[in-house]
Amino acid sequence: MNKLLDAIMSKLLQRGFATDENAEIVRYGLELIIMKTIITSAMIAMAIAMNSVPEVLVFMAVYSVLRSNCGGYHSRSRIACFFSSLIILTAVIAAVKLIHCRGDVFCIAAFLCTGLALIIALAPVDTQTKPFDSVERVVFRKRSLITAFIVLFISASLALLGLHKLALSASCAILITGIMLAAGRLTNKKGAVT
């Protein structure tokens, strides 16, 4: 990945699309774009292979919006991020496939309530490398709560329409976001102690 980033940055600098002053920011943005593209491609490939494309698309859309507003735990390396993303997606696909029709409404409700409670209690969670200032904390808190309640409404609507697998995917996104918030809070506390 570093060789690819070096090659792209060299071309951008040569052609004047980046300068020495903003090179670090441009490189970081490129790294994020490349990683998101790789992870998204792998997730879509997995969705196709597991015959779960609609469920995975709902999960990815909801989860990415929740995470960008709520924050939470982030892996320390690109490889760890890639594999943890695939493990999370595997768990979501397994949940959608294994939870049967009679129990799925209860699971949807349990996932939504647990995830929502965690988001209300913890959001937003920053990282040690990019802490929130007081204004950002207020803004992201509002965004987190608004987004979580929109997802709650969407999940409930999908369940009422009988689209239980899609509702379960959205509720998994809110639950996993809550878990990532708790993990991020624990990681931040451990980092502050050491």
Locate the domains of the chain by residue range. Answer: 1-49, 52-193
Location of structure tokens 């979580």: 148
Residues β-bridged to residue 71: 125
Model pTM score: 0.84
Location of structure tokens 């709520």: 70
- Residue 82 makes CB contacts below 8 A (sequence gap 6+) with 35, 38, 39, 42
Per-residue pLDDT tens for 97-135?
A: 888 655 678 889 999 999 999 999 999 998 877 788 889
As a whole number, the mean pLDDT across the chain is 88
Residues β-bridged to residue 125: 71
Helix (H) or strand (E) holding 50: none
How does 85-120 read in b/e, with b if 16+ C-beta sit within 10 Å?
beebbeebbebbeebeeeebeebbeebbeebbebbe
Residues of the chain where predicted confidence (pLDDT) is lower than 50: 193-194
